[in-house]
Amino acid sequence: MPFDFVHGVDTGNTAWVLASAALVLLMTPGLAFFYGGMVRAKNVLGMLMQNYVAIGLVSVLWVLVAYSLAFGKSGFGGFAGNLHQFGLGHMGEQVAGYQGPLAQSIPPLVFVAFQLMFAVITPALITGASADRLKFGAYCVFIAIWLIVVYAPIAHWVFSPEGWLFKRGAEDFAGGTVVHANAGAAGLALAIVLGKRLGWKKDPMRPHNLPFTLLGAGLLWFGWFGFNAGSALGANNLAGYAFVNTNTATAAAMLGWIVVEKLRDGHPTTLGAASGAVAGLVAITPAAGFVSPLGSIALGFIAGALCSLAVLLKYKLGYDDALDVVGVHLVGGVAGALLIGFLGTKATGIGLDGVFYGGGWHLMKLQAEAVGAAVGYSFVATLIIAKVIDLVMGLRLTKDEELEGMDTVLHAETAYDFGGVTAGGFSPSQRTPGPSIDVTSGAMARTEGGPA
In angstroms, the Cα distances linking 306 to 331, 336, 401 are 8, 11, 36
Q: What is the pLDDT of residue 280?
A: 98
Average pLDDT, integer, range 204-219:
96
What does pLDDT average to over the chain? 92
Q: What is the pLDDT of residue 8?
A: 87
| 239 vs 109: CA distance, rounded Å | 20
Confidence grade of residue 1 (pLDDT, cut at 50, 70, 90): confident
Q: Which domains does the chain have, with CATH numbers?
A: 11-392 (1.10.3430.10), 416-447 (no CATH)
Q: Alpha carbon 134 to chain centroid distance?
A: 18
pLDDT tens, position by position, 238-258: 999 999 999 999 999 999 999
pLDDT tens, position by position, 54-80: 999 999 999 999 999 999 999 999 999
pLDDT tens, position by position, 329-379: 999 999 999 999 999 999 999 999 999 999 999 999 999 999 999 999 999
Angle at 23 between CA 65 and CA 56, to 5 degrees: 35
Characterize 280-306 residue by residue with b for buried, 16 or more Cβ atoms within 10 angstroms of its Cβ, and e for exposed: bbbbbbbbbbbbbeebbbbbbbbbbbb
Rounded to whole angstroms, the maximal C-alpha distance in the chain is 78
| 249 vs 262: CA distance, rounded Å | 20
Confidence grade of residue 442 (pLDDT, cut at 50, 70, 90): very low
Q: What is the pLDDT of residue 450?
A: 36
| 363 vs 167: CA distance, rounded Å | 13
